Amino acid sequence: MNAPAADEVILIRQLERSFPMGDTVIRALRGVDITIRRGEYVAIMGPSGSGKSTLMNILGCLDTPTEGQYLFDNVDVSTLSDDELSAMRNREIGFIFQNFNLLPKMNSLQNVELPLMYAGIPKAMRRERAIEALERVGLADRMDHKPTELSGGQRQRVAVARALVTKPGILLADEPTGALDQATGKEIIDLLKELNVESGVTIISATHDLKMIDVSDRIVHIRDGGVERIERREDIDLTIGEM
């Protein structure tokens, strides 16, 4: 593999992921090559079962490839210990999930503080940074509300704030609008784009939502475990994002 360029935060080459299934082996990823530059907004699109979730799990250091190489910020992920991988996930990567993954007994502020608690950040600093993150996503007036007291869009904004609170370089969003209606989903898409533009955070989103095309720099199309094609937004008829 050639040395990555200075602006490349993710470089994967010939990535394979297989799962034994009885007497057969399921090849979830087949020779995937992707380069993602710092500050990009990349959408990963494809039908159910195409390998999107498997790829996102590997990008987030939640799973390891069967073969191939994954460089994260010039570090070969395969050389890291479990503790080093955990530290990387907590420090460098923010996660946003389709179903929010908020703790129901905690209010918004406490949910957002959690990653900082795991990182050993002192209580006063945790609170300050959590408040700042909630203000950034427009929930300054919902800090004391528990998830059951929030709308779906507000819950996802809390999840975005939680992902941002560690000030990661990358946000991984797995179907971030999947549990939302179209209007609320558009609000979350616009919020993620604002964060990308204003803070320079790299965003990688696995999605079925065609509206994501309107804000993405590149769209990676996955099918049958492989990269079918990669398109730049300016080369796409953006009217399809309005469907």
Residue 188 has pLDDT above 90, yes or no: yes
**Residue pLDDT, tens place only, 93-137:** 999 998 999 999 999 999 999 999 988 899 999 999 999 999 999
pLDDT value, residue 243: 40
Residue 238 has pLDDT above 80, yes or no: no
Closest CA to 56 of 163, 203, 181, 162: 203
**Residue pLDDT, tens place only, 130-174:** 999 999 999 999 999 999 999 999 999 999 999 999 999 999 999
**Residue pLDDT, tens place only, 52-102:** 999 999 999 999 999 999 999 999 999 999 999 988 888 899 999 989 999
pLDDT value, residue 239: 44
Residue 220 has pLDDT above 50, yes or no: yes
What's the rounded mean pLDDT across residues 21-48? Answer: 94
Confidence bin at 4 (pLDDT 50/70/90) = low
pLDDT value, residue 234: 81
pLDDT value, residue 241: 43
**Residue 3: DSSP 8-state:** P
- Interatomic CA distance for residues 59 and 89, integer angstroms: 10
- Interatomic CA distance for residues 84 and 56, integer angstroms: 19
pLDDT value, residue 233: 84
Measure the CA dihedral 122/141/186/216, to 10°: -30
What's the rounded mean pLDDT across residues 4-26? Answer: 88
Closest CA to 70 of 31, 1, 2, 12: 12
Q: 15 with 29: CB under 8 angstroms?
A: yes
> Which pTM value belongs to this model?
0.90
Give the chain's count of helices (H) and strands (E): 6, 10
